Structure 1
């Protein structure tokens, strides 16, 4: 009975925490947007470079602009995008269920002694197969999502990103909740990135050693001449292969031959986008609010994962990929709405857990099943109402931000009045001088 009470309390506190977390993030988001001068930004987006269509004379600018009819996009979404996404999700779900059934069959065969253990490899084979299937289908689906979104041919980048976010979230909600292979994939990626960085450092050390040997051999042939003039740096390969170099090249050091930061980043892969990072955080948020009542340590492990990932992402941005260009935005866009909808879904799921685990039945033994369902539905409605009340009570923009905005608006109006007065005085002076 104590466990049942703690289960209900944990579920209730979990919902309140999720609601408060999103409100806190919105307030923090408003503070950052105000500091970066993007809070009241009117985002007028230009046409995407990949936007295609026929040229048509615009009624606004009276110039030829690219036009793509919306009915073509609608037909493509109805007959291509939605069927392909549906087929992919159904196929992944079917394969996951099939592998789960296969795991149950393997467990039964091992228990009966019909299959050899092979150092537990037989028992782990379905789990490995599940990880491979979800990873492969996830990569394939992401490529399909990118292709479909490009083919839908949106004019603005914001609409393009919104459609991409919706497709990725629809795919990620199924396999990522079933399998937990993402952590192992990230660890493997981190090892590869560190190995690549170490290999590059070893290459630089080897080049420095070769350069030192070449310079020492040149110094043995003749005395080194001092020259205070600076010389243009050359590539390491040219220095190693060119036998007609002047003696003054012996003054060149390895530091002067090292590549600049821009040259190093040119050879590194490009940072594609932030879809993966946002999707990872949203999935982790879903793990906490959906399943933390069943596994209360999920929040702790999520915190530990984020602390580690802060450093791995920094290493990835600074050492592995080209540094991306920043973009001016005022919020995180549709990801905020997705997390808010997930809170409402978490309320329903936690109420279902209370029913399936028999919590209400054990707390009130003589309660009929219809009354139990009625109580759970009432609890679900009350929790949704409570979340909406909390959201409407707390301001999304902090008080000091609103005060600073009011001060800036007042100064802007005063400056505009002063400018108008100066213009009026200047006009009067000109008319007076003209009359004279």
Structure 2
């Protein structure tokens, strides 16, 4: 009974924290946007550089602009994008279910003693395999989503980003949550769920750092060392040519002394390989920071960084009632990720150009929808674990389902009311915006008054 009450309290606190966090972040990003002067910034709908289409006269500008018919994009989405995404998700689901079934079979064989334990390595093998499979499919579906979104050929960058976010998030949800939800909903083995989550956090974190930091660092240093070796070979070649040139000059001077001036001039014109001024001084030759950074890869876009944070947010709000350490592992993962990103910025990638934005875009809405989904998931967990059945043993099953649905709807309504009752922009930011608007109007009124006064003086002068 105590565990059931704690489970319900933990679920409620989880939902309250998620709702409060999103409200806080919405207000915090408004403060940062005001400080960085991007709060009222309107995103210009500029044409993407990779946008392709036939030349078509624009009715707005009356100029020829590339135009891509919407029906072509719709046909591509219906017959290429959606089938490919479905195939990808089906493959991921198939491999995940097969590995989970393999885990169950291994557990049964270990119980009856048909398989050796090998210091728990046999039991850990399917968990590691599942984490590796999901990590590999992460890279696969990201590449597929990028290719599909580029082929859909959107004109505005905002629409392109939104479509990319939708595809990547849909695939990431299946890839990241299917295994843990399958264990929680169908096998009801919560100890295995905790082990699986720990394995996913460790394997994904390790592989992410290997792929994003260690491998690019090794490749960059290898490329730089090859360049240094080539420069040393070039130095030796230039030194040999310099020695040959000096010997040739000595021979020419000797011929000069024998008064063969005409021949010497012809020979010097024909056989002077390289002048002394054109030989670089390799003792002072070094690569500048800009030249080194030109060899480094460009900083990738932020889709994967946002997606990783949102998926971790989902692990916390969906599964922290079953695995309370999910929040701790997410915090630890983010601390390591911050240092890894700093290492990539300083040592591996080119310094990216900053982009002025006023918020995090559709990721905020995605997290708000995830909170609503978390309410439903936690209510289902309460039903699966038999919390209501133990607290109200005389309650019929139909009444239990009805009570569960009522509680779920009530919690969603409460979250909606809390979210709508708190302003998205803090009070002091609204005051500062009002002050700026008042000063702008005062300056505009003063400017119009001065212009009117000058016009009246000019009219009087013409009359006189």
Q: TM-score, normalised by structure 2?
A: 0.81
**Number of matched pairs:** 409
CA distance in 2, matches of 1:342, 1:202: 43
* Residue of structure 2 aligned with 1:404, choices 424, 427, 432: 432
Alignment of 1:219-258 (within 5 A): 238-239=234-235, 242-243=238-239, 244=242, 257-258=285-286
* Residue of structure 2 aligned with 1:391, choices 419, 441, 445: 419
Residue by residue over 1:249-270, the C-alpha shift from the partner in whole angstroms, topping out at 9 and shown as x without a partner, is: 99987xx644322212111111
**Partner residue in 2 for 1:214:** none
* Residue of structure 1 aligned with 2:205, choices 165, 186, 190: 186
**Partner residue in 1 for 2:393:** 365
**Partner residue in 1 for 2:67:** 67
* Residue of structure 1 aligned with 2:382, choices 354, 369, 382: 354
Residue by residue over 1:250-303, the C-alpha shift from the partner in whole angstroms, topping out at 9 and shown as x without a partner, is: 9987xx644322212111111221010000000000000000011112112212
**Partner residue in 1 for 2:306:** 278
CA distance in 2, matches of 1:418, 1:134: 64
Secondary structure, aligned partner of 2:55: strand
Higher mean C-alpha displacement, 159-168 vs 324-333: 324-333
**Partner residue in 2 for 1:337:** 365
After superposition, the Cα gap between the structure-2 partners of 1:258 and 1:23, relative to the gap in structure 1 and judged at 3 Å, is farther
Higher mean C-alpha displacement, 311-320 vs 110-119: 110-119
**Partner residue in 1 for 2:33:** 33
Q: TM-score, normalised by structure 1?
A: 0.86
| Greater Rg over alpha carbons, structure | 2
After superposition, the Cα gap between the structure-2 partners of 1:202 and 1:175, relative to the gap in structure 1 and judged at 3 Å, is closer
CA distance in 2, matches of 1:25, 1:15: 15
After superposition, the Cα gap between the structure-2 partners of 1:37 and 1:383, relative to the gap in structure 1 and judged at 3 Å, is same
CA distance in 1, matches of 2:21, 2:384: 28
Q: Does the alignment pair 1:170 with 2:189?
A: no
Give the deviation of 1:422 after TM superposition: 1.4
Give the deviation of 1:126 after TM superposition: 2.8
CA distance in 2, matches of 1:69, 1:205: 50
Structure 2: runs of 5 or more not aligned: 180-195, 244-275
Q: Does the alignment pair 1:161 with 2:180?
A: no
CA distance in 2, matches of 1:271, 1:258: 25
Secondary structure, aligned partner of 1:65: strand
Give the deviation of 1:201 after TM superposition: 7.8
Alignment of 1:44-123 (within 5 A): 44-117=44-117, 121-123=121-123
After superposition, the Cα gap between the structure-2 partners of 1:36 and 1:79, relative to the gap in structure 1 and judged at 3 Å, is same
Give the deviation of 1:11 after TM superposition: 0.4
CA distance in 1, matches of 2:224, 2:292: 12
Give the deviation of 1:197 after TM superposition: 5.0
Secondary structure, aligned partner of 2:38: coil
Q: Does the alignment pair 1:4 with 2:23?
A: no
Secondary structure, aligned partner of 1:329: coil
**Partner residue in 2 for 1:376:** 404
Contact 1:19 1:387 in 2 (8 A): yes
Give the deviation of 1:122 after TM superposition: 4.2
CA distance in 2, matches of 1:104, 1:34: 54
After superposition, the Cα gap between the structure-2 partners of 1:122 and 1:296, relative to the gap in structure 1 and judged at 3 Å, is closer
After superposition, the Cα gap between the structure-2 partners of 1:199 and 1:71, relative to the gap in structure 1 and judged at 3 Å, is closer
CA distance in 1, matches of 2:413, 2:219: 57
Contact 1:236 1:257 in 2 (8 A): no
After superposition, the Cα gap between the structure-2 partners of 1:240 and 1:32, relative to the gap in structure 1 and judged at 3 Å, is farther
Q: Does the alignment pair 1:328 with 2:347?
A: no
**Partner residue in 2 for 1:433:** 461
Aligned-pair Cα RMSD in Å = 2.9
Contact 1:197 1:319 in 2 (8 A): yes
After superposition, the Cα gap between the structure-2 partners of 1:357 and 1:314, relative to the gap in structure 1 and judged at 3 Å, is same
CA distance in 1, matches of 2:234, 2:460: 76
CA distance in 1, matches of 2:61, 2:33: 32
Contact 2:132 2:203 in 1 (8 A): no
Give the deviation of 1:355 after TM superposition: 0.5
After superposition, the Cα gap between the structure-2 partners of 1:237 and 1:433, relative to the gap in structure 1 and judged at 3 Å, is farther
**Partner residue in 2 for 1:263:** 291
Secondary structure, aligned partner of 1:272: coil
Give the deviation of 1:5 after TM superposition: 0.6
Give the deviation of 1:181 after TM superposition: 3.5
Secondary structure, aligned partner of 1:56: strand
Secondary structure, aligned partner of 2:324: coil
**Partner residue in 1 for 2:255:** none
